[in-house]
């Protein structure tokens, strides 16, 4: 993965918020990048196959430094696509599902950091995940494809958040609304584009994303 530092966005944002300290601009860029990636799932990857047993569950979801998994988009067990469910669904449909064992037919996330399987596998299984990523709060850079494809969108969102700050030299409520509208529109468009190539239902995956 090639990356681009958040400083690369400065040329798009800094001229719009004169006198704003650079660290504050960088923080706004990072926060906007996190929000954008989380809302749109544009940053996706199929992770390498890993061997998992019941003892590994719930499985901690891994990512490179400065990156976090925001959502499991699809899951395969031994090459077979299984369906996503919620904890409420499992509670309502299966008695004592927490201790059930067999061939996993569902996956779930109690939180964004871990993955669960129902039922838990007997022995070892091969697990393949397609996941969505976002930068972490401590990150200093972002995937270069996100930068190339969404530079002006993230810049608009960062500019709007800075302009909304009251009683500062760079405050500008009217322009903030303008750039907020651009960011919201572009984010919706990016989400729609992502959904066209990958469709995820509540309980059933309608297309194979691998």
33, pLDDT greater than 70: yes
For residues 121 and 82, the answer to whether their CB atoms sit within 8 Å is no
**pLDDT value of residue 174:** 96
Q: Which helix (H) or strand (E) holds 52?
A: strand 50-52
How far is Cα 190 from Cα 33, in angstroms, rounded to an integer?
13
Structure tokens at 196: 């066209």
Q: How many CA atoms lie within 13 A of 91 on its CB side?
A: 4
pLDDT tens digits for range 123-155: 999 999 999 999 999 999 999 999 999 999 999
Identify the residue with better confidence: 95 or 28: 28
Give me the residue label for tokens 């006198």.
Answer: 19
Strand 67-77 and strand 80-84: the pairing is antiparallel
206, pLDDT greater than 60: no
Q: For residues 78-91, give the mean pLDDT.
A: 96
For residues 13 and 155, the answer to whether their CB atoms sit within 8 Å is yes
Q: What is the DSSP letter of 75?
A: E
Of 42-51, 63-72, 190-199, least confident by mean pLDDT is 190-199
Q: How many CA atoms lie within 13 A of 82 on its CB side?
A: 25
């Amino acid at each position: 993965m090639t990356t681009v530092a958040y400083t690369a966005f400065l040329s798009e944002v800094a001229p719009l918020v004169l006198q704003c300290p650079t660290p504050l601009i960088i923080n706004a860029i990072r926060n906007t990048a996190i929000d954008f990636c989380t809302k749109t799932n544009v940053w996706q990857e199929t992770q390498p196959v890993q061997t998992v047993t019941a003892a590994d569950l719930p499985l901690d979801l891994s990512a490179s430094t400065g990156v976090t998994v925001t959502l499991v988009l699809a899951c395969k067990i031994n090459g077979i696509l299984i369906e996503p469910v919620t904890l409420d669904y499992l509670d309502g449909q299966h008695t004592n599902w927490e201790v059930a064992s067999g061939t996993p037919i569902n996956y779930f996330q109690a939180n964004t950091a871990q993955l669960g399987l129902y039922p838990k596998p007997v022995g070892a299984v091969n697990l393949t995940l397609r996941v969505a990523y976002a930068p972490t709060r401590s990150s200093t850079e972002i995937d270069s494809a996100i930068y190339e494809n969404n530079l002006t969108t993230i810049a608009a969102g960062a500019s709007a958040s800075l302009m909304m700050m009251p009683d500062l030299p760079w405050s500008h409520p009217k322009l903030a609304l303008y750039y907020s509208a651009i960011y919201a529109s572009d984010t919706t468009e990016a989400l729609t584009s992502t959904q066209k190539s990958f469709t995820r239902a509540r309980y059933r995956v309608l297309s194979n994303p691998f």
